[in-house]
Amino acid sequence: MNISEFAKIAGVSKSAVSRYFNNGYLSREKTALIKAAIEKTGYAPSLSARSVKNKITKLVGVIIPKLSSESIARITEGISEVLSEQGYELLLVNTANDYNKEIDSLELFRNNWVYGIILMASVFTKLHKTVLDKIRVPVVILGQNYKGYNCVCHDDFGAAYALTRLMLDKGASDPACVGVRMDDLATGKLRFDGFMKALNEKGLSFHRENRETADFTFESGYEHARHLFSGRSRPDAVFCATDSIAAGVVLYCKENGIRIPRDVMVCGIGDSKLSRISSTTITSAHLHYKTAGIEAAKMLLSQIDHGKSAPRILQLGYEIVQRESTAG
């Protein structure tokens, strides 16, 4: 639909439409008519044409949960590598794991000129859906499988299952889980579900006191290990939702004479540098974070160039990297 066709539907002149999209003065009546027509048709002017005319930098909004994360850095590197080659620049917003800030960031990008949005969210609420449904530019969800949208995600369930099964096959019979909140469907629920599947296949019971819910930090892993190992019985294996959590568990064990892997096996997910350089290395699942960023950027470019299409889900695999903490 071109500007003339849209103006006719809105019942205003082409110049009024142009002033609206360029933040010029417009009466309330005409503004209301144009807004109503946008809601009806989903019309947006050509961004590429506006960029040439107004010398606007081609921007893509990228919403990330935190800056101090190796995995996020690897993902962002992949996104930047692809988009920069096509002349785009990233507009990064750090939400500090606050979903309200995610909503605000989506609203910011919805009301400003970006070519597309890549969202890394851990929790999806009704507000997320309300705002996402109003966004007219392409959106790719990275790290989660969110129905109705193009997504790039990891096999969180499979990685957790494989790691837990590895510890059980090596003799563990009373495993614990230090996970994260369950409303984080990927890192929380799917990884816990993978852990439980491995236990169920072995016919093992899971005791409630062997489950801890941590933050995504080394310090939180340490504190939850303190709680985990202060009970009457000690687990002989600990599955951790992330490598950072696992590193905290390992440090607590070392400081308190709990031998790894003789007394307890420990594993995490992410194959981070921390898992490789600590004094007791951590068996982990390597997730392809940079590849995820690359694929998300390619998926977004495809939508920008060819328009929105049926939602596509791309799930990336994993590799188990065995190290001392479980291998012995």
Pairing relationship of beta strands 150-154 and 175-179 according to DSSP bridges = unpaired
- Side chain identity at residue 66, one-letter code: K
pLDDT computed for residue 49 by the predictor: 46
pLDDT tens for the chain, 328 residues long, are 677 888 888 898 888 887 787 656 778 888 889 888 887 887 766 554 454 444 456 899 999 998 878 899 999 999 999 999 999 999 999 998 888 899 999 998 887 779 999 999 888 989 999 999 888 889 999 999 998 999 999 999 999 999 999 999 999 999 999 999 999 999 999 999 999 999 999 999 998 899 999 998 999 999 999 999 987 778 999 999 999 999 999 999 999 999 999 999 999 999 987 766 655 678 999 999 999 999 999 999 999 888 777 889 999 999 999 876 765 5
pLDDT computed for residue 53 by the predictor: 46
CA distances from 174 to 71, 96, 207, 208 (A): 30, 35, 8, 12
Tell which phi-psi region holds residue 203, choosing left (phi > 0), alpha (psi between -120 and 50) or beta: left
pLDDT computed for residue 136 by the predictor: 85
222 contacts 185 by C-beta, under 8 angstroms:
no
Angle at which helices 3-10 and 14-21 pack, to 10 degrees?
100
Radius of gyration of the chain (CA): 24
Among positive and negative, which fits the CA dihedral 206, 208, 213, 217? Answer: negative
Of all helices (H) and strands (E), which one includes residue 10? helix 3-10
Q: Please enumerate in sequence order all residues whose Cβ is within 8 A of that of 122, keeping only pairs 6 or more positions apart, or say none.
A: 65, 97, 99, 143, 144, 184, 186, 187, 188
pLDDT computed for residue 111 by the predictor: 78
In whole angstroms, give the CA distance from residue 312 to residue 298: 12
Alpha carbons within 13 A on the beta-carbon side of 277: 3
